[in-house]
Amino acid sequence: MKQLTWNFIINTFLVATVGSYRLAVRIAKDHNDALFAGKADPEINAMYLIFHPIYLSMQNAYDLWHAQGGTQSGETLGLNLLMKQLSHTKISDWDIDIQAIYKRKTPEYKKLLPHNRTPFQIGSQDNRITAVAALSKNLTGIPALTALKTDVDAFKIELTTGQDVKNVSFKTTDNHSEAVEEARVAMCNKMFGNYGRLLGINEDNPSAITKYFPIKFIHSYHQIFFMHSIKPDAKYKVVKHTFLPTDELWISATSEAGFRVYISDGGDGDYSIHGVVIVGNTSVTIEAALLGNIEANKYLMVQNLSHTNNADFEIEFL
């Protein structure tokens, strides 16, 4: 017979925040602030003095991870812009310069650009950088194309530097992700301990401890609160849920980027005419019927409308 897990020893805070560091920070802040408000009580103050540094560690780890995510996006965008320049302006100019000396289809031209412009315009970033390096090497020793080689060499350095910076940025983000996960676990464990301590203090009136915890964020039976950060132009599947036309949702854009909230069948179909657009740094309460065909579709979706910035949102079922 399978041994059952006793529900009372399951760390609800760990379960509720899996996959959402932002929610972990929100829960930690609410608990920290509630303990601070009650620290006139020596027992509450003792908990606050221990928990406060753990909360700050979680907040700092999250801030570093979130900031590095923005840096990573910037570094990736920088390399992408170089690749766009390569596939359009650079290879076009280089090809024209080469043809001024060697006509197309001649052996000399074929040695420099054996597949014409294609390797510089199609393929992985690594392969396109390799194509630039090969062109640089093959230009060696051609006096008439010395100026071209100088330009190719300079751009090759820009590409390889951009690639190195992007790779370092990804590695740094991974390191910060590990740190924020460690901080999340430590924070949730301490909150779970405080839950037990507060129950002990209020054993004759257990409901008194609810003021120390953001209950709506950690409800374990039916999740009603959701928060996430979506990358530029990306879509995010929030939850599968059956809505009634009169159900209400509170939706908040907690960053400058606007987004669209809608209902879909979970596929990649075009729902661009459906849903509600939420402007950055605003909050609204809407009826579920405005999200689309709630009878046929069950997936609550959020689409970031910004091409450059992450969209942060909070959604609560009322």
Q: Which among 233, 236, 223, 257 has a CA at the least distance from the CA of 299?
A: 236
Q: How far is C-alpha 183 from the chain's CA centre?
A: 18
Q: How far apart are CA 132 and CA 140, in angstroms?
A: 13
Crossing angle of helices 146-201/42-85, nearest 10°?
160
Q: How far apart are CA 182 and CA 31, in angstroms?
A: 18
Q: What is the model's pLDDT at position 222?
A: 52
110-117 own/partner pairs: CB under 8 Å, 24+ apart: 111/138, 112/138, 112/139, 117/91, 117/92
Q: Report residue 167 as tokens.
A: 């790779």
Q: Report residue 65 as tokens.
A: 């991870």
Q: What is the model's pLDDT at position 41?
A: 93
Q: What is the model's pLDDT at position 265?
A: 83
Q: What is the model's pLDDT at position 122?
A: 80
Who contacts 147 (Cβ-Cβ below 8 Å, separation ≥6)?
97
Dihedral over alpha carbons 88, 90, 95, 96 (to 10 degrees): 100
Q: Are strands 235-240 and 225-230 parallel, antiparallel or unpaired?
A: unpaired
Q: What is the mean pLDDT of each run of 10 residues along the chain (318 residues)?
A: 54 75 83 91 93 89 68 50 82 90 89 86 80 88 89 84 59 59 89 90 87 71 72 89 83 89 78 83 88 88 91 84
Q: Report residue 130 as tokens.
A: 């390799």
Q: What is the model's pLDDT at position 219?
A: 55
Q: Residue type for 189, please?
A: N
